[in-house]
Amino acid sequence: SVDDVIHGVEMVVGQFQQVLNARGVEELDPTGEAFDPSCMEAMSAVPVTDAAQDGVVIATLKPGYRFQGREVRPALVVVGRKA
């Protein structure tokens, strides 16, 4: 059934991620962190009313990756900007 196929694919993806992590690949999800242009790429900015969210990553569109401490791909993020 379709549910069995979906479950199988999810298992394979999980195993693949475990192998990558064991080899030193880290997935980066900076949601809630301050925007850092050295390891993130802002895809858009959204207006926020709370000053605490100004310059903070509101959402991660694609996670970034680091391999043995070196950036492989920056995270693609949405950043809050005080209106």
pTM: 0.77
Series of mean pLDDT values for 10-residue runs along the chain (83 residues): 95 94 92 94 95 95 93 96 88
Q: Which of 34, 36, 31 is nearest to 58 (CA)?
A: 31
DSSP state of 56: B
